[in-house]
């Protein structure tokens, strides 16, 4: 089996993205369409899914919009079958649905721990369970999952359910690659760090005034469009674990060289007021200011 795909990996393929209406999912849908894929934009926000599909078609691509609830096996199956009827056999599938909460673990209800695991982890397993048998039967296909830096090394102490779920996604993707790639099915796990999306707008805070701990000032805030290009290029190169910022691997190496010492440095940094906020490039800061509401 070849170590990489040609640059035409996306050309004349059919792709289905769960969670493609906004943020990273939307950017990936637009990027894959630009590279020649027909894209099924699946999302619980049907209006936003239609808007993304319309933007793809306006740019000369081919897309359909589908409403899906990734917490339902029946809904995932229905969306998958609808995508196949419209676009043909699905070659590339991405599970990109996610939800985040903030708070101390003792304040978060058990129902929220389960909900976050279901949305962030079991949505990926639902997707894999549906598509893997088909891909194995034809010995081709590409499964893409979405994790987070929060699941890669310890820092997200204010978002433990989310960090746990994303760590599970990474472990799942690594083992799935070991199993499926020799059988002809590619596996890629996108691991985003700080990205300029609206995911925080819907975040619930379960602890009053609970500061959100970030991944570190060594890292930079990224645009979704840049992350989409990084992912797509890596998929063509045979990438399995794809970080949105390559500098994260230096932090992972520090953790691997001495996990206890790394964790204690995190404890000390937080005690000294360092929340680990990422740096913001000047061009992104200008964009943020442009989008900020104007004062009267």
Q: Which of 121, 153, 155, 162 is catalytic?
A: 162
| Residue that has been written with the tokens 């799942």 in this structure | 172
DSSP state of 105: G
| Residue that has been written with the tokens 């819907």 in this structure | 202
The pairing of beta strand 38-43 with beta strand 101-102: unpaired
Give rounded-to-5 percent helix, strand, coil for the chain. 50, 15, 35
Q: Nearest Cα to 92, choosing from 21, 3, 44, 20?
A: 20
Alpha-carbon radius of gyration of the chain: 19
Q: Nearest Cα to 15, choosing from 55, 62, 75, 76?
A: 62
Cβ-contact 280, 220 below 8 angstroms: yes
Q: Nearest Cα to 143, choosing from 119, 160, 156, 124?
A: 124
Look up 121 and say whether it is catalytic.
no
Q: Nearest Cα to 143, choosing from 193, 110, 183, 101?
A: 183
Q: Nearest Cα to 6, choosing from 190, 242, 244, 233?
A: 233
Q: Nearest Cα to 13, choosing from 226, 129, 34?
A: 34
Catalytic sites, residue numbers: 162
């Amino acid at each position: 089996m070849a170590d990489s795909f040609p640059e035409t990996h996306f050309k004349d393929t059919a792709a289905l993205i769960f969670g493609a209406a906004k943020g990273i999912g939307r950017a990936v849908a637009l990027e894959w369409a630009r590279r020649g894929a027909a894209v099924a934009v699946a999302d619980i926000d049907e209006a936003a899914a239609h808007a993304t599909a319309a933007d793809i078609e306006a740019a000369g691509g081919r897309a359909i919009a589908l409403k899906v609830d990734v917490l339902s096996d029946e809904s995932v199956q229905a969306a998958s079958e609808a995508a196949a009827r419209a676009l043909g056999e699905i070659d590339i599938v991405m599970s990109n649905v996610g939800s985040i909460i903030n708070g101390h673990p003792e304040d978060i209800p058990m129902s929220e721990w389960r909900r976050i695991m279901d949305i962030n982890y079991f949505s990926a397993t639902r997707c894999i369970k549906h598509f893997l048998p088909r891909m194995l039967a034809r010995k081709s296909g590409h499964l893409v999952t979405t994790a987070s830096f929060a699941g890669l090394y310890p820092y997200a102490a204010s978002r433990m359910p989310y960090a746990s779920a994303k760590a599970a996604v990474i472990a799942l993707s690594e083992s799935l690659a070991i199993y499926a790639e020799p059988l002809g099915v590619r596996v890629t796990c996108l691991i985003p760090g700080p990205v300029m999306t609206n995911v925080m707008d819907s975040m619930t805070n379960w602890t009053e005034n609970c500061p959100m701990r970030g991944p570190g000032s060594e890292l930079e805030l990224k645009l979704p469009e840049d992350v989409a290009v990084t992912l797509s290029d890596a998929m063509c190169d045979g990438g399995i674990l794809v970080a949105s910022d390559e500098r994260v691997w230096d932090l992972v190496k520090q953790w691997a060289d001495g996990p206890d010492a790394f964790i204690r440095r995190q404890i000390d940094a937080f005690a000294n007021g360092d929340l680990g906020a990422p740096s913001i490039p000047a061009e992104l800061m200008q964009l943020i200011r442009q989008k900020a509401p104007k004062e009267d």
